[in-house]
Structure 1
Amino acid sequence: MTDRPYAPACDRNRDPILEVLRAHFADRHDVLEIGSGTGQHAVHFAAAMPWLRWQCSDRAENLPGMALWLDEAALPNTPTPVELDVDAGPWPRSQTRDGRFDAVFSANTLHIMGWPQVEAFFDGLDATLADDATLVVYGPFNYGGQYTSDSNRDFDGWLKARDPVSAIRDFEAVDALAARIGLRLLDDIAMPANNRSLVWRRDSGRRV
């Protein structure tokens, strides 16, 4: 179909991300993807990992294009995408007895959001993640307040020129938000194009 939205970056990064997800979602069942965008990642990952129920979500304006990808793929493990604005909710519920997801994935979202929305992202996850859930976030991050590459510095400048609230986030600040909802960092994996895959596991459902 030629009318589907298309993000070239998804084709470039999908296989390195899939390698991470195969390792960390091997024992997971019910995944919420936050900020599914075009839906390209969803159809690739859901096809490669058929044991997962892959629930897409995004803001309302992205759902029609995403549905074109999901409808064409017609996979049995990708239910109808749902609307989610992390600021406003409501947050989706899984099909499990307690309505919580045992895995969440998000790619290239935290640097697009403003910082209050990043805080809302983790606040929303508090009630959405199961007690032993895994969270994987992909994208660029700064460490110790420093860029990891000249290209990330340039990208950050482009982000801020486009929208002043956007910015590459400091890993330490994001990890602190994760720790507040009981998430412990398991892995920090270098990815192509100076990106990272951050993997957290929840040890309990309580804030620290």
Structure 2
Amino acid sequence: MTKLESPSAERNRGPIWDLVVEARLLKDVDATTISTPLNALEVAAGSGVHTQFFAQQLASRKILVTWQSTDPEASALASQEAYIEEIAGPSSKSDEDKTYWRTCETVNFGKPLALTLDENGIRETSTESAIADQSMDWIWTINMIHISPWAATQGLMKMAGTKLKPKSGRLILYGPYRVNGFTVESNLKFEEWLKAKDSSYGVRNLEDVVAEASKHGLELEDTIEMPANNLSVILRKRG
């Protein structure tokens, strides 16, 4: 299996961990009191750089997590497998529970899944059935919304509204956004480059993203300024 390189993921993984996971998501989590794993779904996980890094950090803190990475591209899924296999061995639970594929200390991995989103949610029925409704504590989407058609964002929100646990489940987004219609010059130039590749891509208005999320029972919990003019956005599933 060939590992894909992702310089942007290498750069942003540390700030995302420090400012989002450790400072917000794990702020009130005591590893000694967790009896069942947190369930995390990573949408459009790409190379697997974030998958590997977050798992290593969670394992070092003895946080119980089941992590499921996904992507629509076969090359990305193969790369995710390679990154996971660098740090994880075969799961001792694989025979009794097929959701576990590899294990890295306190982190159990599902085998990376093909997942494509459109305005109706998850396109593949096999993947739909593999992710139980109201089962996810975290759904992650890093650098997807601006590099996909708007229909993918609509599908993401529909899926999150179905798959996140009520009251406590969170959808975490990362990337460049317009806020009240404005963004910095570097993001505008980036958008020009994106639209030259595909006219359906673009730096989205945060208000439009939040409004779409609200249709599916999610509310804005936090917006965090990140390096390189990006934002992390945390949306919580209402009860």
Q: Same fold (TM over 0.5)?
A: yes
Give the aligned length: 199
**Which one of the candidate residues 38, 42, 52 is aligned to 1:43?**
52
Q: Tell me whether 1:57 sits opposite 2:66 in the alignment.
A: no
**Which one of the candidate residues 163, 171, 174 is aligned to 1:135?**
171
**Which one of the candidate residues 71, 77, 83 is aligned to 2:85?**
71
Structure 1, gaps ≥5 residues long: none
SS at match of 1:47: helix
SS at match of 1:101: coil
Mapped to 1, the partners of 2:25 and 2:68 lie a distance apart of 14
Q: Tell me whether 1:190 sits opposite 2:225 in the alignment.
A: yes
Mapped to 2, the partners of 1:99 and 1:136 lie a distance apart of 16
Worse-matched range after superposition: 34-43 or 75-84: 75-84
Worse-matched range after superposition: 75-84 or 12-21: 75-84
Q: CA deviation at 1:203?
A: 2.0
CA RMSD between the two structures: 1.7
Mapped to 2, the partners of 1:67 and 1:183 lie a distance apart of 31
- Percent of residue pairs identical: 32
SS at match of 1:77: strand
Question: Where in structure 1 do 4 or more consecutive aligned residues deviate above 4 Å?
Answer: none
In structure 2, the partner of 1:6 is: 5
Decide whether the 8 Å contact of 1:46 with 1:78 is kept in 2.
no
Structure 2, gaps ≥5 residues long: 30-36, 89-103
Residues 117-176 of structure 1 deviation map (CA, whole Å, 9 limit, x = unaligned): 2111111222111112011100000012222x1110100000000111100110000000
Q: TM-score, normalised by structure 1?
A: 0.89
Q: TM-score, normalised by structure 2?
A: 0.78
Mapped to 2, the partners of 1:37 and 1:46 lie a distance apart of 15
Worse-matched range after superposition: 22-31 or 100-109: 22-31
Query: Counterpart of 1:93 in structure 2: which amino acid?
Result: I
**Larger radius of gyration between Structure 1 and Structure 2:** 2
Query: Counterpart of 1:141 in structure 2: which amino acid?
Result: Y
SS at match of 1:188: strand
